Amino acid sequence: MVGYQRYQKNQVEGAGPLGLVLLSYEVMYKSLAQARLAIQAKDISAEAHHVSRALESIIELSMSLDMEQGADVAVNLAHLYAYMAKRLGEGLCSGSTDSVDEVLGLATSLREGWLKLDEQQRGATGPTTSVASAKLAPPKSSPYVDQATSLLIAYAG
């Protein structure tokens, strides 16, 4: 197992339920940023790959919802995740970044909410090592990595 894969495995295994949600958002966030760059470069294959990864994250988030404990919030998130997946499907290979931009905006807002919840929980239980405060490892090499990293920083700010 190479260092990057070991790092990813340790991140997943060491994360609690909220940490896993945040990891899913990070994967979605990076994938959407890279999909956006692929669309701009007119690289349909890369666009499809990155949109597919973002959809996998959306499905993972959807499957992790606890409809009993989450009540209305879980139902609303399920509807929102379905909408996000639909928008990505509609925009796939259209040559436009509109749907990716819309989903990226929604994902950014949702991620910020989960980060606030993580901060509140850490404040109540004292300092812990959390996914939200951990530095992310660089993504696997691709022609879009440097541009995607810049885009992620811009969206996070």
User: Which of residues 4 and 75 earns the better pLDDT score?
Assistant: 75
Cα(92)–Cα(117) distance, rounded to whole angstroms? 32
Nearest one of 7, 20, 33, 5 to 131, comparing CA atoms: 20
Residue 7: predicted pLDDT: 46
Spell out the domain ranges in the chain: 20-144
Distances (CA, A) of 7 to 10, 13, 26, 75, 78: 5, 10, 15, 33, 30
pTM score above 0.75: no
Per-residue pLDDT tens digits for 63-92: 988 888 878 888 888 999 999 999 999 998
pLDDT-derived band of residue 123, with 50, 70 and 90 as boundaries? confident
Region for residue 127 given its phi and psi (left: phi exceeds 0; alpha: psi -120 to 50; beta: otherwise): beta
Does 20-144 carry CATH code 3.40.91.10?
Answer: no
Q: What is the mean pLDDT of residues 2-14?
A: 50
